[in-house]
Amino acid sequence: MVVYDLNCASGHTFEGWFRNLEAFGDQLARGLVACPVCHSVEVSRRPTASRVNTGARPPVESPPQAAQGGNPVPVEHAGRVMARALNEFVQRNFEDVGSGFAKEARRMHYGEAEERNIRGTATTDEVRELHDEGIDAKPLPDPDADKPN
């Protein structure tokens, strides 16, 4: 896999991932490479800084800091710490509408109820229907998802 820095005719910069140079050239010739901003297919490669990994030293990662207390968190637990912090924020700042989440989200979307931050439960089908109607609904990450059952 190779990553190329690309430009469109309007000057927007973006990157593209391709199997190899030939795959890039083939997709470009067929008009399959387009700018994500303006959708122009007039795209060209930009000079790219090379990076050679000599394997001499592994990259050093600084551990994320805990949300409270500032104690370093082991990298392997960072996702769980962030998910827990997000869940706590939502618990404190969003109104719990329980199993009526889809109904209340629709009411707010269509101007039948005051817009506000809400949380609750919805089935997969309800979430799909909300998205089909242009209503954004996101599940909260499970802070314990990577723990064994």
pLDDT in tens, 82-94: 888 888 888 888 8
- Write down the pTM of the prediction: 0.48
Rounded (5°) CA angle 84-85-86? 90
How many other C-beta atoms can be found within 10 angstroms of the C-beta atom of residue 108?
15
Given the DSSP bridges, would you call strands 95-96 and 118-119 parallel, antiparallel or unpaired? parallel
Give one DSSP letter per residue of 34-89, joined into a string: --TTT----EEEPP-------SSSPPP-PPPBPTTT--B--GGGHHHHHHHHHHHH
Question: What pLDDT, in 10s, does the model give residues 37-81?
Answer: 999 999 999 876 655 556 665 555 555 555 455 566 566 667 777
